Chain A
Amino acid sequence: MDEPTLDAIIARYEAPSGRLLGILGEIQDQEGYIPRETLGMLAEKLDVRLSQLYSLATFYSYFSLTPVGEHVITVCMGTACHVKGAPAILEALEGMLGIKSDTSVDGKFSITTEDRKFTLAIARCFGACSMAPVLRIDGNLYGYATKENLPAILGEYGWEP
């Protein structure tokens, strides 16, 4: 993230309430993760210790310190999704993408394919429980996921068998 972009984000947070998480959240949304150098730049600009920012980035599950692929697939692992078969959806996606679940460096579930096309991640709950199981690709929600309709959904994002 370049300096003017970061400055513009910081400028949106004048009030101290919710400032740090808000800024980190916007960096996360724009970049898909929080780059190490952006974190350093932010620490300097706000005169906050880098270790404090690092503790926030690792404590909160919304933030990721690992770069992500072109498209991010997030599988909801909430209760309703769980009872309606989310684990099987996750497994099917791992098979389709040829990756195996693992934890990333910051202890969060997020894994990227070798060609950096897709990142597979999990979420606690999207609050879209009525259409469980649910997955999200780049901000678009897909309800009533089944193993059978996954290829068509992923196909929209350039996935090929």
Chain B
Amino acid sequence: MKITSAADLETVRQAGLQKLQPVKPRIAVGLATCGIAVGGSRVYERLREIIKRDGLDIILTKTGCIGYCKEEPLVNITIPNKPLVILHKVTEADAEEIIKLVQKGKVPADKALCRVPSWDHVTGCILEYGKGFTKIPLYGKVPFFKGQQKVILRDAGLINPEDIDEYIAVGGYKAAIKALTGKDSETVIKEVEKSGLRGRGGAGFPTGLKWRITRDAKAEKKYIICNADEGDPGAYMNRNEMESDPHMLIEGMIIGAYAMGAPDGLIYIRAEYPLAIKRLKLAIGQAREYGLLGNNIFGTNFSFDIGIATGAGAFVCGESTALVASIEGRTGRPHPRPPRLTDIGGGLFGYPTDLNNVETWCNVPVIIINGSDWYARIGSKDNTGTKVFSLVGKVDRVGLVEVPLGTTLNTIVSDIGNGGANNKKVKAVQTGGPSGGCIPFRLFDTPMDFENLNKAGSIMGSGGIVVMDEDTDMVDIARFFINFATGESCGKCIPCREGLKHSLLLLNRILAKKGTKKDIETLALLSDTIVATSLCGLGQTAPNPVLTTLAYFREEYDALVKP
């Protein structure tokens, strides 16, 4: 069927609710990449076997990841009129017991992480599950979840990402229908501008402004692209957003395409994310069936469709001009801007092109549904909304953390993350991937927003936070990143290609204890030169890990060299 009206959408929504809150027990296994890797699919298979063997009236389905990666595999149990219960560290061996208890309307208390009596899906849709199981902690009392505010990840780990009906059940595509049937392009763009939304890919460029520039470009054709290349090692929030809630991204793109008047959308995604690619393709297919993609969406005269282009492992392709070259089938080598992507002649196949990160697109539906005022109240001035961070490395509670922009590192690492793993002392974090820097523990009152991170010498990047403890050698970390950047330099401009190579040689010499004080000075000078003279963002930011470790951990360098 094709959805052409709010009434149609409501019909599907009701059907979706039946799936989310059925009249019989429902078991949903967390099957994002991380859940699968630690045994989630084995749990799913075992549950399936038992249900089939005994001919039980229990619904078994899959869900994405709620972000508490440390506790995986996670399994959700929904028993009618009882709170949703999230089980953690579930193995195949637990399956028989789970099924036995669920049949009696119970859950295994020793495996229960928390209970969810009701869940706010933010889009004006609150799901009431029920009361009971009072001995199991409430979701909001779990220390890892307590400080978080789920806006982007509001559905992740709760709905089945492979079923469009469940996304619609929790308010999905309501924003798209609201925009396409009730607002003109200017109103949508103004709303996004007023929300203060800034690009989540790292640079923090105002999204509404980029949309306006693209819309105003006079050309016969325009493209919009989603950058899902997520190349920063240590960052995986985009993967989870696509694996756990692909329709949120698609809905954001539909609204953007409408506002900018672009009939063609592309998702440029790295080939290393096979599950995300699979789920996106599935989601696009389902959206087409409902007429949410394709010709005359919602019966309007607006048509739009999305294709998928795979990247092939080149960090530099996160740079906009390199990304476009890659989609066109060329090597990803950046060219100087202007022309920018939004300019005529600068974008994909020469057409004006808007490029936004996965998470940026995911922010759009909620802005349209709840309004820019609601959105702008989250976070801080000029840094509105939430941001999903991947908290990894030597931290106790690893996982995906969504907090308002401007939340301090202390809150994220010490409170939500519970400090260092194995009771070690946290020494620093590295934010922003290879383009970012290391921030020492004494600066952990730094608010995580675009400006304050820059002030600390680092960047937001896509939101990776890699925690380092007292055992981590900071000079080795600097070498790690320079080695990475050397390998990923496209080789076009000399400062990046040669400068990074020589930085690496210097770092190797220092780490081999064969360096001198002079080498450290040369390294610092060379780093400044690379920053000042490289052609694109990769080179301009690649020395950041060296510069920040030199600034904050100079003593570790000094200890390695001869006077």
In the bound complex, what is the Cα–Cα distance between A127 and B169 (angstroms)? 29
Q: Is the CB of A21 within 8 A of B312?
A: yes
Interface 9-residue window, one of B18-26, B139-147, B323-331, B548-556: B323-331
In the assembled complex, the CB of A151 is this many whole angstroms from the nearest CB of chain B, namely 19
A149 lies within 8 A of chain B by Cβ: no
A158 lies within 8 A of chain B by Cβ: no
Q: Is the CB of A83 within 8 A of B272?
A: no
With both beta carbons as reference points, the residue of chain B lying nearest to A74 in the complex is identified as B272
Q: Is the CB of A129 within 8 A of B234?
A: yes
A18-B266, A128-B34, A131-B37 in contact; A83/B233 too (CB < 8 A)? no
Interface size range on A against B: 35 or more
Residues of A within 8 A of B399 (CB): 130
A125-B233, A130-B69, A132-B393 in contact; A17/B274 too (CB < 8 A)? no
In the bound complex, what is the Cα–Cα distance between A60 and B34 (angstroms)? 25
Partner of A128, one of B37, B232, B468: B37
B174 lies within 8 A of chain A by Cβ: no
A62-B271, A80-B393, A82-B480 in contact; A21/B310 too (CB < 8 A)? yes
* A54-113 at interface with B (beta carbon < 8 Å): 55-56, 59-63, 77-84
Partner of A17, one of B311, B315, B348: B348
In the bound complex, what is the Cα–Cα distance between A130 and B30 (angstroms)? 15
B309 lies within 8 A of chain A by Cβ: yes
In the assembled complex, the CB of A9 is this many whole angstroms from the nearest CB of chain B, namely 13
Q: Is the CB of A79 within 8 A of B273?
A: no
* A112-139 at interface with B (beta carbon < 8 Å): 123-132, 134, 139
Residues of B within 8 A of A15 (CB): 307
Q: Mark B223-242, 1 if CB is under 8 A from A, else 0.
A: 00000001111111011000
Partner of A21, one of B38, B311, B349, B488: B311
In the bound complex, what is the Cα–Cα distance between A80 and B507 (angstroms)? 20
Q: Is the CB of B309 within 8 A of A127?
A: no
Q: Is the CB of A127 within 8 A of B230?
A: yes
Residues of B within 8 A of A61 (CB): 312-314
B36 lies within 8 A of chain A by Cβ: yes
In the bound complex, what is the Cα–Cα distance between A82 and B230 (angstroms)? 18
Interface size range on B against A: 35 or more
A25 lies within 8 A of chain B by Cβ: yes
With both beta carbons as reference points, the residue of chain A lying nearest to B273 in the complex is identified as A127
Q: Is the CB of A59 within 8 A of B393?
A: no
In the bound complex, what is the Cα–Cα distance between A144 and B89 (angstroms)? 14
Q: Is the CB of A16 within 8 A of B349?
A: yes
In the bound complex, what is the Cα–Cα distance between A48 and B33 (angstroms)? 36
A41 lies within 8 A of chain B by Cβ: no
Partner of B272, one of A18, A59, A127, A129: A127
Residues of A within 8 A of B393 (CB): 79-80, 83-84, 129, 132
Q: Is the CB of A143 within 8 A of B38?
A: yes
Q: Mark B498-528, 1 if CB is under 8 A from A, else 0.
A: 0000000000000000000000000000000
Q: Mark A15-34, 1 if CB is under 8 A from B, else 0.
A: 11111111011000000000
CB pairs A–B below 8 angstroms (16 shown): A17-B328, A17-B348, A21-B310, A25-B271, A25-B310, A61-B313, A82-B477, A124-B233, A126-B33, A127-B230, A127-B238, A127-B273, A131-B34, A131-B398, A132-B393, A141-B33
| Contacts A60-B311, A127-B272, A129-B235 supplied; 18 other A-B pairs, CB < 8 Å | A16-B329, A18-B307, A21-B311, A21-B329, A25-B312, A52-B329, A59-B332, A63-B312, A84-B394, A124-B233, A125-B236, A127-B236, A129-B393, A129-B464, A130-B72, A130-B399, A132-B392, A140-B37
